[in-house]
């Protein structure tokens, strides 16, 4: 068997993997990247990007649809229609452009991309097969291996994917819009896609096992989302467990917290109950790496328990975020090139593209209290922000958490239309170790939603100007 | 609505001033009648000040650690009805302390005016950033007594705060940011801080040699010496300033006494309680003091009078959470071994739990100090002024001794005793200690009246 040799072998071409490869190549390291499907991983192909495209399209259609009735803006539209096939084609175009872009970047930097599925042979060697039937895999050896295989969607044991039961991947490429959609899981994926389908015209019911939606965020932060779901007519069943499909397969059996069972008619059932590290089916267990639950255990340099075997991204557990994987990948490439680096971010912002959007960075008031910090908390409502009014979206607020003793900001949270863009300011102030006075003393352009950031800091200092 | 003022009560025994050690209320609190407002401390005891009225706290008359005169204003309380403050006198509220400041230890008034003002300012205007731009140097001096040194020293466990660029540069330089002092706002480590740290390290290190030293530690902690600690400091200073001490050390063969003690504990331990060496030593001192009344005495050097006592009121130096205290066994001469042991136990518990009364903490005529297993070989005890003698107990160990020309193993223990040379001569002291030794080495004599 021919063995190819390289310095760095990256398994997986998602955001973590391709960034590792590009940065390593920039630093002069001979790099091979193995990817079985399209470059770009979950994020570009079936995650972040396509979902945002669909959210945008659904919102545009929803707007047009609203203009068919009485409009405060004085706009009237007649007969708004949507050609979902064209919508999906448009979305696929964006995905193609981006994944093609990744390929071009890798090529430009001299990364060797091998198409195929990697199977671990040992800590320095993998076999790459074109498909399951491929009996002549290519064997590649590298001094370093970066594991970046990401995560996979979690299915429900009693209700496997197939037929009416779809995953978020399928939900992003519909051929038609179901009349009745049941979404299992009230986390960010379920709500983002549930809202898309609602705006496209489906009757949507979200079933969540816990007693509130977005259980990972605090209740105050999710309140505007709850209100918006109600206004848009999305049914939400809390404290309810999905038992499976009924006998005829056209309804979902749901048990509420009191133990009562009922059936929800469904043309499609979207299961979005979370993602788990992709650790099975490619020989990873042969390396006997130390694990941390279902994820691979790594230190603050993304080293696994085996020398020169590194793991990044979703494979290393929560938070499963593309930007975390990219930062880890960049760092690993630099460490391999001989630089001293650590993964020590002050904060990793998390954004939820519901309507309205939710963003958190750093510590919440509850986190800070748990850590024993004496903190000031202040929030500024978008109802007092001029730009929010001009956008017809005054729901929500920006909240800041800062230490009482030296006013250093330890966390930001926001909910409202378009607040995802504020995450930039949030992360930046946290990484810079900014104090309330730093943000309060920075001139923020008027009229923008960002003024609420400055006002929240001012309010924490006791002298907000617009409230 | 009227204003009621509670003044510092006269705690007795000619005490003119007391130290405020704790507030139990703050401005704005509602208090009930008899609710405890504050703790104050006299020479010996901690006394609680109760409220004589019900109402709302308007102002606190002092800060924790402040020494206040008897009769000075402790607290102002708004009450229903007339109160005890004459109308019109209200504006002359002395030393009203903002609530936030009352909780924090405050620099003594002797410090520079700026330092004394700073905490007040910080409390009143939280919007003022604590640090400054850091480029004008000498940060430690600048921060002096205020609560701001957070800008310089991180508490253990606090992550160093630095921008991503500074972090990256530190990694490149191989510097652990945890050890770099930050002069930026809120303790942020700036590029300049990192450069300065590296320059300092380079100065201390010949070029080309890797830094082998252990990490520098720059943290410091300011501990206000207040309450019991201050009392101890004053007492010790007084004793050492006034008394010309001399210390006499003798070894005692405890073998026989230990045999007796073990036996007594085996026989009576269950019903009467276990005995330590201490009750035996107390008994030996009681007996030795009879022939040496000059060591069981208090010396008033201002009046030039030494008072010798027939009774032996024995101070037992006791370590408590707050510091050293000396509860007193009254009339130790009347107690048998078990009664003495029980009294020692009761008093030390009382002292440790802060329940010891003033009477139980004063009036000793001679003192014992013992650190038990930590007793060491020799110590130089400080006399409990105005007493004139103190007996220190060192560790008991088995040692090879020569007896009748043969080396035998004996339980040996040293006694390190200090005396006031103004009234006790070396000869008296030696005889006194030898007496004690005689009793301990031949324990039967302890029980001959």
The pLDDT tens digits for A29-69 are 999 999 999 999 999 999 999 999 999 999 999 999 999 98
CA distance B163 to chain A (A): 4
CATH 3.50.50.60 fits A3-153+276-336, yes or no: yes
Inter-chain residue contact A433 with B151, CB threshold 8 Å: no
Flag whether pLDDT at B322 surpasses 90: no
Report pTM: 0.60
Q: What is the pLDDT of residues A419-446, one digit of tens each?
A: 999 999 999 999 999 999 999 999 999 9
**Closest among A49, A94, A247, A406 to B146, alpha carbons compared:** A406
**Closest among A361, A222, A417, A218 to A206, alpha carbons compared:** A222
Instruction: Report yes or no: B130 at the A interface, CB cutoff 8 Å.
Output: yes
Q: Which of residues 4-43 of A touch B (CB under 8 A)?
A: none
- Rounded to the nearest integer, the mean pLDDT of chain A is 94
Give B171's contacts in chain A (Cβ within 8 Å).
Answer: 339-342
Bridge-based pairing state of the strands A251-255 and A261-265: antiparallel
Instruction: Report yes or no: B149 at the A interface, CB cutoff 8 Å.
Output: no
The pLDDT value given to residue A303: 96
CA distance B17 to chain A (A): 34
Residue B414 DSSP code: E
Q: Which residue of B has its CA nearest to A345?
A: B164
Q: Domains in chain B, please, with CATH?
A: 2-102 (2.40.50.100), 131-203 (4.10.320.10), 228-447 (3.30.559.10)
Q: Is-contact B383 B239, C-beta < 8 A?
A: yes
Flag whether pLDDT at A18 surpasses 50: yes
Flag whether pLDDT at B113 surpasses 60: no
Q: What is the pLDDT of residues A65-94, one digit of tens each?
A: 999 988 889 999 998 899 999 999 999 999
The fold adopted by the segment(s) A350-460 is Enolase-like; domain 1 (3.30.390)
Instruction: Report yes or no: B151 at the A interface, CB cutoff 8 Å.
Output: yes
Bridge-based pairing state of the strands B36-41 and B46-50: antiparallel
- Higher-confidence residue of B12 and A320: namely A320
Inter-chain residue contact A463 with B162, CB threshold 8 Å: no
CA distance B172 to chain A (A): 6
- Interatomic CA distance for residues B258 and B439, integer angstroms: 13
| Reported confidence tier of residue B391, pLDDT bands at 50, 70, 90 | very high
Instruction: Report yes or no: A428 at the B interface, CB cutoff 8 Å.
Output: no
Outline which parts of chain A fall under CATH 3.30.390.30: 350-460
| Pair of tokens at residue B359 | 């009477």
The pLDDT value given to residue B101: 41
Give B185's contacts in chain A (Cβ within 8 Å).
Answer: 406, 435, 437-438
Inter-chain residue contact B185 with A435, CB threshold 8 Å: yes
DSSP string, B141-187: HHHTTSSGGGGT-PPTTPPPPB-HHHHHHHHHHT--GGGS---SGGG
Q: What share of chain B in percent tops pLDDT 70?
A: 81
Q: Which residue of B has its CA nearest to A339?
A: B172
Give A408's contacts in chain B (Cβ within 8 Å).
Answer: 161, 186-188
Known catalytic residues of A? 446
The pLDDT value given to residue B129: 41
- Interatomic CA distance for residues B245 and A164, integer angstroms: 96
Q: Residue A326 contacts by C-beta under 8 Å, 6 or more apart in sequence?
A: A15, A16, A19
For the segment A8-17, the average pLDDT, to the nearest whole number, is: 97
- Higher-confidence residue of B5 and A148: namely A148
Q: Is-contact B52 B39, C-beta < 8 A?
A: no
Bridge-based pairing state of the strands B314-316 and B328-329: antiparallel
Instruction: Report yes or no: B185 at the A interface, CB cutoff 8 Å.
Output: yes
The pLDDT value given to residue B338: 93
For an interface test with A, which of B171, B182, B191 has the most A Cβ atoms less than 10 Å from its Cβ?
Answer: B171
Instruction: Report yes or no: B172 at the A interface, CB cutoff 8 Å.
Output: yes
Strands lying side by side in the sheet with B67-69: B46-50, B36-41, B17-23, B67-69
Inter-chain residue contact B186 with A408, CB threshold 8 Å: yes
The pLDDT value given to residue B149: 37
Q: Where are the alpha helices (DSSP H) in A165-271?
A: 168-171, 188-200, 219-232
The pLDDT value given to residue B72: 83
| Terminal Cα-to-Cα distance of chain A (whole angstroms) | 73
CA distance A221 to chain B (A): 27
Flag whether pLDDT at B88 surpasses 60: no
Give A432's contacts in chain B (Cβ within 8 Å).
Answer: 163-164, 188
**Closest among A438, A414, A435 to A424, alpha carbons compared:** A414
Outline which parts of chain A fall under CATH 3.50.50.60: 3-153+276-336, 165-273
The pLDDT value given to residue B328: 94
For the segment B331-356, the average pLDDT, to the nearest whole number, is: 91
- Rounded to the nearest integer, the mean pLDDT of chain B is 81
Flag whether pLDDT at A396 surpasses 90: yes
Q: Report the residue from B171, B172, B188 with minimal CB separation from A433.
A: B188
Instruction: Report yes or no: B124 at the A interface, CB cutoff 8 Å.
Output: no
Q: What is the pLDDT of residues B134-181, one digit of tens each?
A: 344 433 433 334 333 334 556 667 788 899 989 988 998 888 888 888
Q: Report the residue from A344, A406, A408 with minimal CB separation from B167.
A: A344
| Reported confidence tier of residue B289, pLDDT bands at 50, 70, 90 | very high
Superfamily of domain A165-273: FAD/NAD(P)-binding domain (3.50.50.60)
Inter-chain residue contact A407 with B151, CB threshold 8 Å: no
| Reported confidence tier of residue B86, pLDDT bands at 50, 70, 90 | low
Inter-chain residue contact A431 with B150, CB threshold 8 Å: no
CA B365 to chain centre: 22
Strands lying side by side in the sheet with A251-255: A241-245, A251-255, A261-265
CB atoms within 10 A of CB A8: 26
Instruction: Report yes or no: A367 at the B interface, CB cutoff 8 Å.
Output: no
The pLDDT value given to residue A158: 85
Count how many Cα atoms sit within 13 Å of the Cα of residue B409 in the half-sphere of its side chain: 2
Flag whether pLDDT at B112 surpasses 70: no
The pLDDT value given to residue B137: 40
CA distance B206 to chain A (A): 23
Beta bridge partners of B20: B40
Q: Is-contact A360 A370, C-beta < 8 A?
A: no
CA distance B389 to chain A (A): 50
Residue A329 DSSP code: H
- Higher-confidence residue of B186 and B335: namely B335
Flag whether pLDDT at B32 surpasses 80: yes
Flag whether pLDDT at B237 surpasses 90: yes
- Interatomic CA distance for residues A433 and B158, integer angstroms: 13
Inter-chain residue contact B172 with A344, CB threshold 8 Å: no
Beta bridge partners of B396: B413
For the segment A402-423, the average pLDDT, to the nearest whole number, is: 95
Instruction: Report yes or no: B206 at the A interface, CB cutoff 8 Å.
Output: no
For the segment B332-358, the average pLDDT, to the nearest whole number, is: 90
For an interface test with B, which of A406, A428, A436, A464 has the most B Cβ atoms less than 10 Å from its Cβ?
Answer: A406
Residue B12 DSSP code: S
Which CA distances in Å does B49 have to A293, A362, B20, B230, B360? Answer: 57, 46, 10, 20, 20
CA distance A292 to chain B (A): 24
- Interface size A-B, in CB pairs within 8 Å, comes to 53
Inter-chain residue contact B163 with A433, CB threshold 8 Å: yes
- Higher-confidence residue of B49 and A325: namely A325
Residue A273, SS3? coil
Q: Is-contact A155 A27, C-beta < 8 A?
A: no
| Pair of tokens at residue A23 | 């940065």
Greatest Cα-to-Cα distance within chain A, rounded to the nearest angstrom: 73
């Amino acid at each position: 068997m021919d063995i190819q040799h390289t310095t760095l072998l990256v398994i997986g071409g998602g955001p973590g993997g391709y960034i590792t490869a590009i940065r390593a190549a920039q630093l002069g390291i001979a790099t091979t990247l193995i990817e079985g499907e399209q470059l770009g991983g979950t994020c570009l192909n079936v995650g972040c990007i396509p979902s945002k495209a669909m959210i945008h399209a659904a919102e545009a259609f929803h707007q047009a649809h609203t203009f068919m009735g009485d409009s405060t803006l004085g706009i009237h539209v007649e007969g708004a229609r949507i050609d979902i096939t064209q919508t999906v084609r448009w979305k696929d175009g964006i995905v193609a452009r981006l994944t093609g872009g990744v390929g071009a970047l890798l090529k430009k930097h001299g990364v060797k991309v091998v198409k195929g599925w990697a199977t671990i042979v040992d800590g320095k060697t993998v076999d790459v097969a074109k498909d399951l039937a491929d009996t002549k895999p290519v064997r590649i050896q590298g001094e370093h291996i970066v594991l970046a295989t990401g995560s996979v969607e979690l299915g429900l044991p009693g209700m496997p994917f197939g037929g009416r039961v779809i995953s978020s991947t399928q939900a992003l490429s519909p051929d038609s819009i179901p009349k009745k959609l049941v979404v299992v899981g009230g986390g960010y994926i379920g709500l983002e896609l549930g809202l898309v389908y609602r705006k496209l015209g489906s009757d949507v019911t979200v079933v969540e096992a816990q007693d509130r939606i977005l259980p990972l965020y605090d209740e105050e932060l999710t309140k505007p989302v709850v209100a918006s779901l109600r206004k848009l007519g999305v049914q939400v069943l809390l404290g309810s467990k999905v038992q499976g499909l009924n006998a005829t397969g056209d309804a979902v059996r749901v048990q509420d917290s009191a133990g009562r069972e009922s059936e929800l008619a469904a043309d499609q059932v979207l299961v979005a109950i979370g993602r788990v590290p992709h650790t099975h089916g490619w020989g990873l267990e042969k390396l006997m790496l130390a694990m941390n639950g279902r994820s691979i255990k790594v230190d603050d340099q993304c080293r696994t328990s085996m020398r020169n075997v590194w793991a990044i991204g979703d494979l290393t557990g929560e938070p499963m975020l593309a930007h975390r994987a990219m930062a880890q990948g960049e760092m690993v490439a630099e460490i391999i090139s001989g630089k001293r680096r650590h993964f020590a971010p002050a904060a990793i912002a998390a954004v939820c593209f519901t309507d309205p959007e939710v963003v958190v960075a750093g510590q919440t008031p509850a986190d800070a209290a748990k850590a024993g910090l004496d903190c000031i908390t202040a929030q500024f409502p978008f109802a007092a922000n001029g730009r929010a009014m001009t956008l017809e979206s005054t729901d929500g607020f920006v909240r800041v958490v800062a230490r009482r003793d030296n006013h250093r900001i330890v966390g930001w949270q926001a909910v409202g239309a378009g607040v995802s863009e504020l995450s930039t300011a949030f992360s930046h102030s946290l990484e810079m170790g900014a104090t309330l006075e730093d943000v309060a003393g920075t001139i923020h352009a008027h009229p923008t939603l960002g003024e609420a950031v400055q006002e929240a800091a001012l309010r924490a200092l006791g002298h907000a100007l617009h409230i | 609505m009227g204003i009621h003022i509670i003044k510092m009560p006269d705690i007795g025994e000619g005490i003119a001033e007391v130290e405020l050690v704790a507030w139990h209320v703050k401005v704005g609190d509602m208090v009930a009648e008899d609710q405890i407002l504050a703790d104050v401390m006299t020479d010996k005891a901690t006394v609680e000040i109760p409220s004589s009225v019900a109402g709302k706290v308007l102002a606190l008359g002092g800060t924790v650690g402040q020494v206040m005169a008897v009769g000075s204003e402790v607290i102002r309380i708004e009450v229903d009805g007339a109160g005890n403050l004459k109308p019109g006198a209200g504006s002359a509220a002395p030393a009203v302390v903002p609530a936030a400041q009352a909780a924090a230890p405050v620099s003594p008034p002797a410090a520079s005016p700026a330092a004394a003002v700073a905490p007040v300012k910080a409390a009143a205007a939280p919007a003022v950033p604590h640090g400054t731009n850091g480029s004008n140097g000498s940060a430690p001096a600048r921060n002096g007594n205020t609560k701001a040194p957070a800008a310089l020293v991180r508490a253990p466990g606090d992550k160093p705060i630095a921008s991503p660029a500074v972090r990256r540069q530190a990694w490149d330089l191989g510097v652990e940011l945890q050890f770099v002092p930050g002069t930026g706002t809120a303790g942020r480590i700036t590029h300049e801080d990192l450069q300065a740290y590296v320059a300092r390290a380079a100065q201390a290190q010949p070029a080309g040699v890797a830094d082998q030293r252990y990490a520098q530690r720059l943290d410091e902690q300011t501990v206000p010496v207040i309450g019991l600690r201050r009392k101890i400091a004053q007492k010790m200073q007084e004793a050492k300033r006034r008394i010309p001490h001399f210390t006499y050390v003798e070894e005692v063969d405890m073998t026989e006494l230990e045999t007796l003690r073990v036996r007594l504990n085996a026989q009576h331990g269950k019903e009467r309680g276990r005995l330590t060496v201490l009750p035996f030593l107390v008994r030996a001192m009681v007996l030795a003091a009879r022939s040496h009344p000059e060591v069981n005495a208090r010396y008033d050097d201002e009046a030039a009078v030494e008072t010798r006592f027939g009774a032996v009121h024995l101070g037992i130096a006791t370590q408590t959470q707050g510091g050293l205290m000396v509860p007193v066994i009254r009339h130790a001469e009347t107690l048998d071994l078990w009664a003495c042991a029980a009294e020692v136990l009761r008093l030390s518990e009382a002292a440790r739990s802060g329940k010891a009364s003033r009477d139980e903490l004063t009036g000793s005529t001679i003192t014992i100090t013992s650190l038990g297993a930590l007793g060491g070989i020799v110590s130089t005890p400080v006399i409990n002024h105005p007493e004139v003698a103190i007996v220190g107990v060192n560790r008991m160990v088995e040692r090879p001794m020569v007896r009748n020309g043969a080396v035998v193993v004996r339980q040996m223990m040293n006694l390190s005793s200090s005396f006031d040379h103004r009234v006790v001569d070396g000869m008296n002291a030696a005889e006194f200690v030898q007496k004690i030794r005689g009793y301990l080495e031949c324990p039967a004599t302890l029980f001959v009246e």
